[in-house]
Amino acid sequence: MHAEDSTSSTAQQQQQQQQQSQPSYLQRFFTDQLKDMYYAEQALLKGLEKLKNACSTEELEDAFEKHRRQTERHVTRLEKVFKLIGKKPEAKKCEAMDGLLKEADTIINETTEGTLTRDAALIIAAQKVEHYEIATYGGLVQLAITMDLDRAAEILEKTLNEEEGTDLLLTDIAESFINVNAEQEGGYSWKKEEMQAISNAF
């Protein structure tokens, strides 16, 4: 073998070894999303406290408190996943969560304290957060499975299931009594307006 061939072969081997020691693009994205959610969950802990203090019904207050305790576990689980992939837990600013929590603050400021209308609005705000988390955790579970991170996928799926459960609980609270009673708070029913519009259309 010529010296040039030997040098070329060695360089290729070194390049391959270097590539193998570097995380793949998908691994980097997965880690980035973990950082995103690590920030989001910690921000949500503060947000849920505000939501709990702003609502007027005991059922909704209990739901927000239950989810706050769940969120504490979600933070711990994310730390476990970081450890499984050999990374230090790190938060990256989540613009989406910040935006959703800012919207919740706006709802609190623009609705009347002690009304079921505020509670109905807070449920919608909270469910927007849930849907964001469900989408993100669902994606993280699938990525973990793709990369053969079975234990990480299992941990993340626990959180996903709890997020879905919270979303269903909030829907149940809204449909059971809050939305119907909120509709009676001032003003008049739009049902007549709707029926008149339908009648005029035909």
Supply the CATH number for residue 93's domain. Answer: 1.20.1260.10
Give the C-alpha separation, 101 to 23, whole Å: 33
pLDDT tens-place values along the chain, 202 residues long? 555 555 555 556 555 555 556 889 999 999 999 999 999 999 999 999 999 999 999 999 999 999 999 999 999 999 999 999 999 999 999 999 999 999 999 999 999 999 999 999 999 999 999 999 999 999 999 999 999 999 999 999 999 999 999 999 999 999 999 999 998 886 655 555 565 666 677 6
Query: What local confidence, expressed as pLDDT, does residue 17 receive?
Result: 54
Domain-embedded: residue 196: no
Domain-embedded: residue 31: yes
Domain that holds residue 178: 24-183
Integer distance in angstroms from the first to the last C-alpha of the chain? 89
Domain-embedded: residue 93: yes
Query: What local confidence, expressed as pLDDT, does residue 176 receive?
Result: 95
Q: What is the pTM of this model?
A: 0.84
For residue 198, count CB atoms less than 10 angstroms from its CB and return exposed for 0-12, middle for 13-18, buried for 19 or more.
exposed
**Do residues 144 and 156 touch, judged by C-beta distance below 8 A?**
yes
Domain-embedded: residue 122: yes
84 SS3 class: helix
Query: What local confidence, expressed as pLDDT, does residue 155 receive?
Result: 99
Domain-embedded: residue 10: no
Domain-embedded: residue 12: no
Query: What local confidence, expressed as pLDDT, does residue 200 receive?
Result: 72
Domain-embedded: residue 3: no
Instruction: Give the residue from 104, 78, 77 showing the smallest Cα distance to 91.
Output: 78
What letter would DSSP give residue 195?
A: H
Our count of domains for the chain comes to 1
Domain-embedded: residue 13: no
